[in-house]
Amino acid sequence: MERITVIGGGSWGTTLANLLVEKGYSVIIYDVSEETVNEINECHTNQKLPNIILNHSLKATNHLVLALTEVDLIVLALPTAYIRTVLKDINKILTKSVVFCNVSKGIELKTHKRVSEIVSDELDENLIKSYVALSGPSHAEEVILKKITSVVASSNDFESAKRIQKLFSNDYFRVYTSTDLISVELSGSLKNIFAIASGIVDGLGYGINTKSALITRGLVEMKRIVSTLGGDESTLNGLVGVGDLIVTCTSALSRNYSFGLFIGKGLSFEVAQEKVKMVVEGTKTCKSAYNLSKELDLKTPIIDSIYHILFDNANPRAELNSLMNRRLIEE
C-alpha cells in the first residue's frame, strides 16, 4: 500500500484523507494544531466536519518529520498563502522523490503564481516525481457524506493524472483526467471571486436572473485570463469551470459565497471574515486577479467591482449599477 501524507487538517484535507483510508491506503494527516491532531486521533472527529465520525484508522500528527517518513504521495490541502512556507520545511526533510497532489485553490498574492509554480520554486527537482492538481465542484461537507461528486485530476504528465484518478475514484467520487494544468489551476482559483460576487448579489436581494448573468459573464472573464496565460479556455466549459462556478455560486456551503452574503448585507470585511470562521481564499485571489488583469491589460469588470467593494470600501449596490451602465456591447 502507498503511504500518503495529507498536509492540512481542514475540512477538505480530512475528507480526502478519510476517503483514502476507506480505500485501504495508509494515510496520516499533518497539521500544526495540536487540538486538531488530538481530536482526530482520540475522538475520530474534526470540528470542521460537525457530526461526522472518521475512520478509526485515520491518524494525525503535528510532527512533520514523522509525517514525511517513507511517504509516497503528499497531498497539499492548505490555504495557498501558507503553501510556500510549508514547502520550504518539506524540502529540508524529504529524502526521496514523491508525487505531489494539490487540492487547494488559489493564486499566490504577490507573485501571482499557481501552486505548481510554487512547488517548482521551493522543492529540489529530484524530490518531485510528478505534480497533479485535483479540482472541481466539491464541498467537503457533501463528499464526507458520500454524496456523488465529480472532479478533475490534471497534470502535464498524463500518466500521473491517471494515477491520481485511480487513487481517489470510488462509487461516489468520480475523477476525470486532464493535461491542461494551467486552466485547471487558474479556474479553480478564479471561481472563488465570483462565489463572493454571488453572495453579494443575494445579500442585496437580487434574484436568479442576476445570478445567471453573473455566472455566465464571470466565466467570460475567467476564460480571458486563462487563455492569456496559456491555458485552453474550452477546459472551462467542464467541471473545473462551469461546474465549479455553479457549486460555489449557489451553495451556502461555500465559504466564499457566505462571505459575500455578509458583505451584501452590509457587514464589514473584517466582521464577515470573522463570521465565516475559515480562510476565504477568494479575497486574496481577487486581489491577485485584479492586479494580474491590469498587468495583462484585460477587461475584467466584475473582478474589478468585487475588488473595489472589498478593498476600496465601494458601495456594492453602486458597483452593480456601474456594471449595468457600462457601454453596450456584443456578447
Q: What is the mean pLDDT of the chain?
A: 96
3-class SS letters over 140-151: HHHHCCCCCEEE
Decide if pLDDT at 1 tops 60.
no
Sketch out the chain's domains with CATH numbers. Answer: 3-179 (3.40.50.720), 187-324 (1.10.1040.10)
Reported as a pLDDT band with limits 50, 70 and 90, residue 328 is: confident
On whether the CB atoms of residues 83 and 104 are closer than 8 A, the answer is yes
Chain segment 206-240, per-residue pLDDT in tens: 999 999 999 999 999 999 999 999 999 999 999 99
Reported as a pLDDT band with limits 50, 70 and 90, residue 292 is: very high
3-class SS letters over the chain: CCEEEEECCCHHHHHHHHHHHHCCCEEEEECCCHHHHHHHHHHCCCCCCCCCCCCCCCEEECCHHHHCCCCCEEEECCCHHHHHHHHHHHHHHCCCCEEEEECCCCCCCCCCCCHHHHHHHHCCHHHEEEEEEEECCCCHHHHCCCCCEEEEEECCCHHHHHHHHHHHCCCCEEEEEECCHHHHHHHHHHHHHHHHHHHHHHHCCCCHHHHHHHHHHHHHHHHHHHHHCCCCHHHHHCHHHHHHHHHHHHCCCCHHHHHHHHHHCCCCHHHHHHHHCCCCHHHHHHHHHHHHHHHHCCCCHHHHHHHHHHHCCCCHHHHHHHHHCCCCCCC
Q: Which of 105, 113, 191, 284 is catalytic?
A: 191
Q: How confident is the model at residue 2, as a pLDDT?
A: 82
Chain segment 9-47, per-residue pLDDT in tens: 999 999 999 999 999 999 999 999 999 999 999 999 999
Decide if pLDDT at 278 tops 90.
no
Q: How confident is the model at residue 137, as a pLDDT?
A: 97
The predicted model gives 282-290 an average pLDDT of 95
The predicted model gives 173-196 an average pLDDT of 97
- The verdict on whether 223 is a catalytic residue reads no
